[in-house]
Every structure is written in structure tokens, then in C-alpha cells.
Structure 1
Amino acid sequence: MTPPLTRQPCPPGACNCERERLHETPGADLRILGLTRSEEKRLLERLENLADLPDLEHMQRRMYEQLGIRLEIGPGFNEVRSMRGLQIQIDPLPGLCRKTRQSIPSAIRRALEKRPEIAYRLLDANDLLRDA
């Protein structure tokens, strides 16, 4: 049986993913290491092409189940005037590459710009558009 593919390590000093610490911790959750570069591309493409809010919520659940990535999306502290006003936060996760940590919110923002109705439903779910 072949071992599962794991992401290649980042060049030394190029990332703060703490991959080594993850390997050294007994009983650590190694799911994130299954996110190879090709799988990351597929994930980002999928996030860029979200269909609706339930699809986004489904992807949030799947990212946690398969990779351990906790993703929270909601209105920022200031007024939401554009997609930049939405706060997209990924909980700290050893082994998650710095570039990936930046790419996931960017892909979601591109999806929200393509389909603003997702953002409206997201804001409505947080009671921001209740009286509109």
C-alpha cells in the first residue's frame, strides 16, 4: 500500500507553517499535510466558483472535516461597503502554508464578487439586512 501524498515542505525561511513542529508533536492532526499543491489548486478553483451560501457553508464543513481548516466568514467591525468589508478568518493551524492561508480568503472574495447574492445572504444571516 502506498503512503498518502503529503505536501512538499516549503523552502527554509520562506514560510511560517510550523510543519516541523507538527511532525514532532505526538498525536498531532496531520490532515492538513494532505493538501498537496495540486489539491490546493482544486480547492481554490472550487472556492472561486461557489454557487450560493449553502455551497459556501458546505465547503466550510468539508475543509474542516478533511483538512482541519476552521474558516469563519462574517461582517467586519466597520461598515460593509464592499466584499473587502467581510472578514474571512482562518484559525491558526500548524502545517497550513502561509500562501495557502492568504489564497483561501482571496478565492472566496473573488467568488463573492462574481456572485454578490452570496454576500447578501451572508449579511442577511448575520441580521445586517433584516430591515432592508
Structure 2
Amino acid sequence: MLSTSPLPIRTECPPGTCVCERESLLNDPAGDMRILLLTRMEEKKLIARIESISSYADLQHMAERMQAQLGIVVRIAPGAREVRTVRGLTIELLERPGLCKKIRQTIPAAIRKCLDRNPEIVYAILDAHDLFGDM
């Protein structure tokens, strides 16, 4: 169990503010505890790293690393309606036990900030979803 591990784990959220199911994850011996390794300090480093992304390949690499190391799956896709700005993209984290409400908000916000500064990444995302195909 991770609670006896020398690695620091994320502190629990104040009661009633989050639905991350941290306690049930800690009590599940078969549960994937990697997400709890994202302490508040590590979260700040992750957010800074996401905001400094400068290419689509770097964004994909970062998403792969988050999935491999923390079990966080990030999905970025064009929204159901037309995409005129970064707000037209859907950025979501797949639900899983231990994924704090705050993390569910800060990671997509950091990605949007990165995309606002780098519109070429937005074009690459749209192209990857075949919105510019066969023009």
C-alpha cells in the first residue's frame, strides 16, 4: 500500500470540496495509486511545464508522460461546433479515482494557456483530427 511508502502523496482535500474518492483509493489494495504521487508542489511544476510547451509533438509527449507516470489521460479534440478560438477545443481529463477536482481544472486551464500562446499547436490539433484534410 502506498501510504507506507517513503514517497510523499497528495494531501487530502478539505471535506466536502472534492469528489476524488481518495480514501476509497487508499483502501483498495489493487487501486492505481500513481495519481496520489502528484503532490501540490509537483502539480505546480507540472502546470509550469505544460504552460511552457511550444510544439504539438511536445504536447503529445507531455500527455503520454502524464498517462505513463500518473495515470492521467488527457483528451484534446475539436468541439462539437466550429472552432474559432482555443475555447472551441474540448480539453478533458478522463475520470478516475484519486483525480482531484482542482487538478481537473488546472491542467486543462494550463493547456488552454499554452494553446493561446501557440496557435500553431491548435492548427496541428485540428489537422490531426482531419479538419484540414484534402483541401
Structure-2-length-normalised TM-score: 0.93
Candidates 84, 88, 92, aligned match of 1:89: 92
| Residue aligning to 1:20 | 23
2:128 and 2:103 map into 1 onto residues whose CA distance is 27
Q: Which structure 1 segments of 5+ residues have no match?
A: none
AA matched with 1:106:
A
Candidates 118, 127, 130, aligned match of 1:127: 130
Deviation at 1:96, TM superposition (A): 1.1
Candidates 110, 113, 116, aligned match of 2:113: 110
Identity %: 53
2:104 and 2:65 map into 1 onto residues whose CA distance is 16
1:34 and 1:56 map into 2 onto residues whose CA distance is 21
Q: Deviations over 1:69-126 (max 9, x none)?
A: 0111110111111101001111101111101101100000000000100000110111
Q: Which structure 2 segments of 5+ residues have no match?
A: none
Structure 1 residue ranges (4+ consecutive) displaced by more than 6 angstroms after TM superposition = none
Deviation at 1:131, TM superposition (A): 4.5
| Residue aligning to 1:37 | 40
2:41 and 2:28 map into 1 onto residues whose CA distance is 26
Number of matched pairs: 131
C-alpha RMSD of the superposition: 1.1
Q: Within the alignment, does 1:58 sit opposite 2:93 as a pair?
A: no
